[in-house]
Amino acid sequence: MQHLALLGTGGTIATRSTPYGRRVEVGAAELLGAAKDVWALTEFDIDARDLTGVTSFAATIPDVLALVEAVRTAAAGADGVVVTHGTDSLEETAFLLALAHTGPQPVVLTGAQRPFDDPAPDGPRNLAAALRWAAEPNARGTGVTVAFGNEVLPAVGVRKTHALALQAFSAPGRSPIGHVDEAGVRVQGATPRVPLLPPGTTDLPRVDIAGQYLGADTSWLHHAVANGMRGLVVAGFGSGNTTPETTQACLRLLSDGIPVLITSRTGAGPVAGLYAGGSADLAAAGAVFAGDLSPWQARLLLAAALSGDEQPDQVARRCLTWLREARVVSTTAVGS
């Protein structure tokens, strides 16, 4: 019998509707009971316990790093770990877990778009699928994943791509690595496992994101640096382009030893240093082009790299090495 750990952290899956809005009121044991109404799950031994009870938009990085340690501990004594989580920041939590998880046990995050007391809730089915994936022997070694809407998606590259639809998550540029439905569990791939976050990490250095939009300026950057910003991620136009003012500001940051990662605001497709006066200049100055990684996941990658190295060139090298080993960028990527 497979032994699974179910860790509840709150989120919509654990909410009930009130006159004042949805509130987290449902514990892991009750969530498990509802999942068993979808599929019996009698062949699994499941230890359900609550860690926190918050909506994920209220979570902090220390909160998620505490979850990382709880998952690490749970995985040491289980065949698989499932985490119920809010969807708003699920993609970031999944990525931090992927930066830390080293074992063969599947770690699966899931959640819901509808509250627990909805007439047609999606949470019980998502949770039942996540538990079945975590217990599947062929899923060992598949790393950290997100089970949602019958699909199992890799943590690296996953995004919430719809605000309200039940099929809320996708991994642009990547296929699901598995499916769970009435036909059973089908394992079709695995995610590269490249741990970067050392055990016991309780917080991360400050990394900010500069969004690019028509006429974007950088007046705020001076204050960010003065208040402890250690690195910058740019959510660029298209394939990583930046306004002239942003380009010049990034060049100054790089010359001052502050690492810069380039991503795209588009939602799919890689970045590359292609345009003179913008991304090509940043590539030549040592900015790291983060493939198709989202700005939000790239921010956590850079923060994790900064937590282990003080030298700017070493930080950039650590990020680029991780991006290559995790197959986010190729070894010949332009701007890398």
- List, by residue number, the catalytic residues: 12
Q: DSSP letters along 10-25, please?
A: ESGGGEEEETTEEEE-
- Quote the CA–CA distance of 199 and 186 in Å, as a whole number: 32
- Quote the CA–CA distance of 192 and 303 in Å, as a whole number: 20
Angle, in degrees to the nearest 10, between helices 295-308 and 312-325? 130
The single residue listed with the structure tokens 């939009």 is 213
Q: DSSP letters along 272-301, please?
A: ---STTTHHHHHHHTPEE-TT--HHHHHHH
Amino acid at 141: G
311-315 LR contacts (CB < 8 Å, sep 24+): 312/257, 312/258, 312/259, 313/286, 315/231, 315/259
Burial class (CB in 10 A: 0-12, 13-18, 19+), 245: middle
- Quote the CA–CA distance of 74 and 53 in Å, as a whole number: 18
Q: For strand 15-18 and strand 207-211, is the pairing parallel, antiparallel, or unpaired?
A: unpaired
